[in-house]
Amino acid sequence: MARRRSADRREIVPDAKFNDLIVAKFMNCLMYEGKKSVAEGIVYGAFDTIQSKTKQDPLNVFHEALRNVSPALEVRSRRVGGATYQVPVEVRLDRARALAIRWIITASRGRNEPTMMGRLRSEEHTSELQSRLHLVCRLLLEK
């Protein structure tokens, strides 16, 4: 970490098709080795299949999937005296969004389908990721 000042936030350019910053951030997280056009093709292809199969706006489906997955609370370790406690803390909006994007990408990469486009499409409809959210909430309620 820098000792003098915090690092400046980089400006993210919105994506070309939907003019949305969150979709651009999702594509940047999905991208391997700087191949942005491949990531764009995957995301836009998944959005096209969502549009054709569900007859809904794919951007709304995407944002709803992110909202369903993003956590409201997380546990942080606090050291008081000699003991370490798990303390529930509210998650900031940018961290919750980053966690949701990361969870969607890792869960869709773990699916058993031939193309990443198909994995993303089906991942946005399943509630597999909500099990992780429920696990976090269950851990918080136990304490």
User: What would the pLDDT profile of 60-77 be if each residue is shown by its tens digit?
Assistant: 888 888 888 888 888 899
Give me the chain's average pLDDT, please: 84
Inter-helix orientation angle 116-123/93-109, to 10°: 130
* 3-class SS string, 7-51: CCCCCCCCCCCCCCHHHHHHHHHHCCCCCHHHHHHHHHHHHHHHH
**Global pTM?**
0.80
Q: What is the mean pLDDT of residues 38-57?
A: 88
% of the chain residues with pLDDT over 70: 85
Q: What's the Cα-to-Cα distance from 52 to each of 5, 19, 55, 115, rounded to whole Å?
A: 48, 21, 6, 17
pLDDT for 84 equals: 92
Q: Beta partners for 76? A: 87
pLDDT beyond 70 at 25? yes
Q: Which of 20, 66, 73, 64 is nearest to 44 (CA)?
A: 20
The rounded distance, in Å, linking the Cα atoms of 111 and 137 is 24
pLDDT for 95 equals: 93
Q: Beta partners for 89? A: 74
Tell me which of 9-18, 40-49, 131-140 is least confident.
131-140
User: What would the pLDDT profile of 97-133 be if each residue is shown by its tens digit?
Assistant: 999 999 888 888 888 888 888 888 777 666 445 555 5
The rounded distance, in Å, linking the Cα atoms of 127 and 117 is 18
